[in-house]
């Protein structure tokens, strides 16, 4: 089979994973040994030391819940103390612990496994599936990730691929891959929106396809919103009713919880075709009065009611991505539904209503991403390929500057690869070093964003504050992975890092200065610019306080705050220093009312 390219595309999914390859010029999904085109993203560790992956692992989950790992993608590249990890700890039947560097580890007996190792087992299985189908060894692959994955999550996914023995040619965004599959099939110019709601994540991307060039205009998403959350709503609904009737919380028992999870997932799928389903779980638990059984009816209307707020969250993100792309709904030629969760009728209807056009089902929701990844993999090794992919970075990248402010160097939705350099200066006389802390996110406060890494630039020329010049350069490669360097322009001294997932602190170059002030700030920043930044931060604090406590305030004060929040950003666009100062003082007086 000499015409088969020895490269594959892999959709590493939360619930299911998929592998594809271009065969004889046509992309196709590769079925596994069971004949299925998708493989459950489940890994089970057995008492005899045997490892089960995919269908076999999923089938035995009921009798081995604490040693069956699923939805690992929701944990990959995350910190132990993140809000998402805390939520995961409350619903997963297996044990999650913290590593020395704050990373997430999964306990299996006396072992603690990084999440990358679990994902690597799934990737290794998919590689074996491809090798058997292609009758040849395959080592090169393109792996997809949610568009809104940050640098840590992308790095961790790449590491998982390398642990699986793969040469990861590229990490690309899932909606972009789906668009490649669409473009390959349609072969026409269009502006499309890709609504991707999978098992654990949600993405929305707007792309322009023109003469073989796939240009991402904007992307947004939520890396902890997906089918698992819809399942959990059903689980809680069933458990709460059972608790009310039997005074037993089924969620406190791992085996009962696993049975609830299986029943919830099955009921959700059946409600895509039926108006109602009957859920029967005999001998679900043993109570004081003996064995208890669960029998309940769940309707499609019940499911819609339980999950409507989750759907609304996705639509808010759709609105923001259109704003970022600077286009109207009318400019969209096609809306693609990607991800298994989009089979839910209410989602298809809601998306269609939002965009004012029927959501397209021209591509397979669970296979399109792998097909697109295979197309891109083929284009990377095929010199005659006419496909060009221009993707974007989903989140702003920058550093912490004086006062804990986040100063972006590369704005979100910038086309990658990209490099940007900015010059900063010292804030203290005779300052000897500068600690460069790299963050990713959209908050004006550095601590509210994701800390990707930090390093110490020592040997800065000692001089008065504001004289030394320190150039910080960010580079984002085609994988969306970040590289940072800092150079003292006076001495030529340079320090740089490629940000990693934090498992090897020495390699990353983490360091902290002594008690002297070592933060940097924008060079030659005018008083007006500083005032704008202060006003921006004040507005942010006011918005946060109002969202948390506004309902307890008097109506006249609420109106006053809403007026400030509505008109405040307009002052930042202008240059009236007196007006900005007056508004900042007004905000400070209002903030005191929350104390």
Cα Rg for the chain, rounded, in angstroms?
A: 26
Backbone angles phi, psi at 180, to 5 degrees: -60, -40
Among candidates 239, 359, 270, which has minimal Cα distance to 311? 359
Specify which residues 426 forms β-bridges with.
520
Question: Among the options 151, 159, 196, 222, which is catalytic?
Answer: 196
Each as own residue / partner, the long-range contacts of residues 45-48 (CB below 8 Å, 24 or more positions apart, any chain) are: 45/69, 45/108, 45/109
Q: What SS3 class is residue 270?
A: helix
How far out from the chain centre does Cα 289 lie? 46
d(CA 548, CA 525) in angstroms, rounded, equals 33
Question: Among the options 103, 151, 159, 174, which is catalytic?
Answer: 174
Whether 351 contacts 337, CB under 8 Å: yes
> Beta-carbon neighbour count of residue 196 at 10 Å?
30
Tokens of 164: 């699986």
> DSSP letters of 26-67?
EEEEPP-TTS-SSEE-EEEE-TTS-EEETHHHHHTGGG-GGG
Tokens of 455: 């390093």
Whether 493 contacts 459, CB under 8 Å: yes
Burial class (CB in 10 A: 0-12, 13-18, 19+), 179: buried
Strand ranges (E), 268-393? 276-287, 290-299, 334-338, 388-392
Question: Among the options 58, 73, 215, 268, which is catalytic?
Answer: 73
Is residue 11 annotated as part of the catalytic site, yes or no? Answer: yes
Whether 238 contacts 52, CB under 8 Å: no
Among candidates 196, 244, 200, which has minimal Cα distance to 91? 200
Is residue 174 annotated as part of the catalytic site, yes or no? Answer: yes
Residue 417, preceding bond cis, omega within 30 degrees?
yes
Tokens of 187: 């072969």
d(CA 486, CA 433) in angstroms, rounded, equals 11
* Tally of helices (H runs) and strands (E runs) in the chain: 14, 29
Burial class (CB in 10 A: 0-12, 13-18, 19+), 411: middle
DSSP structural state of residue 552: G
Known catalytic residues?
Answer: 11, 73, 174, 196
């Amino acid at each position: 089979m000499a015409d088969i390219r020895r490269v594959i595309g892999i959709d590493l999914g939360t619930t299911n994973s998929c592998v594809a390859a271009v065969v004889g010029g046509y992309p196709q999904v590769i079925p596994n040994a069971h004949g299925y085109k998708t493989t459950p993203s489940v890994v089970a560790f057995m008492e005899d030391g045997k490892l089960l992956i995919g269908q076999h692992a999923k089938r035995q989950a009921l009798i081995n819940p604490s040693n069956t790992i699923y939805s690992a993608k929701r944990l990959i590249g995350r910190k132990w103390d993140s809000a998402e990890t805390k939520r995961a700890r409350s619903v997963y039947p297996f044990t999650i612990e913290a590593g020395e560097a704050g990373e997430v580890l999964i306990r299996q007996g006396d072992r603690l496994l990084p999440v990358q190792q679990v994902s690597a087992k799934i990737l290794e299985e998919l590689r074996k599936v491809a090798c058997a189908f292609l009758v040849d060894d395959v080592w090169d692959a393109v792996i997809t990730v949610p568009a809104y994955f940050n640098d840590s999550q992308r790095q961790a996914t790449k590491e998982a691929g390398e642990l699986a023995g793969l040469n990861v040619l590229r990490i690309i965004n899932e909606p972009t891959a789906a668009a490649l599959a669409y473009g390959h099939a349609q072969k026409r110019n269009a502006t499309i929106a890709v609504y991707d709601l999978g098992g654990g994540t949600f993405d929305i991307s707007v792309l322009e396809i023109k003469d073989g060039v796939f240009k991402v205009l904007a992307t947004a998403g939520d890396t902890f919103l997906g089918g698992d959350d819809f399942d959990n709503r059903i689980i809680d609904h069933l458990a709460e009713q059972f608790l009310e009737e039997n005074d037993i919380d089924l969620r406190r028992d791992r085996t009962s919880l696993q049975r609830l999870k299986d029943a919830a997932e099955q009921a959700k799928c059946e409600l895509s075709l039926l108006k109602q389903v009957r859920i029967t779980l005999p001998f679900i638990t043993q109570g004081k009065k003996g064995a208890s059984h669960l029998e309940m009816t769940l309707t499609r209307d019940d499911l819609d009611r339980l999950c409507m707020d989750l759907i609304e969250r996705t639509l808010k993100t759709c609105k923001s991505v259109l704003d970022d792309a600077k286009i109207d709904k009318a400019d969209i030629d096609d809306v693609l539904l990607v991800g298994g969760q989009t089979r839910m009728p209410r989602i298809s209807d809601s998306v269609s209503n939002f965009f004012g056009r029927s959501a397209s089902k021209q591509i397979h929701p669970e296979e399109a991403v792998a097909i697109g990844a295979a197309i891109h993999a083929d284009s990377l090794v095929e010199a005659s390929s006419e496909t060009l992919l221009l993707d974007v970075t989903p989140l702003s990248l920058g550093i912490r500057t004086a006062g804990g402010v986040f100063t972006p160097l590369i704005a979100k939705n910038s086309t990658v690869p990209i490099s940007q350099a900015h010059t900063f200066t010292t804030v203290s006389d005779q300052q000897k070093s500068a600690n460069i802390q790299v963050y990713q996110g959209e908050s004006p406060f550095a601590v509210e964003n994701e800390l990707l890494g930090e390093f110490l630039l020592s040997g800065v020329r000692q001089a008065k504050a504001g004289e030394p010049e320190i150039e910080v350069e960010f580079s984002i490669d085609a994988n969306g992975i970040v590289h940072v360097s800092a150079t003292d322009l006076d001495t030529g001294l340079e320090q740089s890092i490629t940000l990693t997932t934090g498992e090897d602190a020495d390699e990353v170059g983490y360091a902290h200065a002594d008690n002297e002030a070592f933060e940097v700030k924008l060079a030659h920043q005018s008083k007006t610019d500083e005032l704008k930044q202060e006003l921006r931060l004040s507005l942010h604090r006011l918005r946060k306080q109002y969202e948390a406590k506004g309902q307890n305030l008097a109506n006249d004060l609420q109106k006053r705050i809403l007026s400030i929040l509505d008109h405040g950003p307009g002052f930042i666009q202008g240059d009236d220093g007196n007006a900005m100062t007056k508004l900042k003082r007004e905000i400070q007086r209002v903030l005191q009312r929350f104390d």
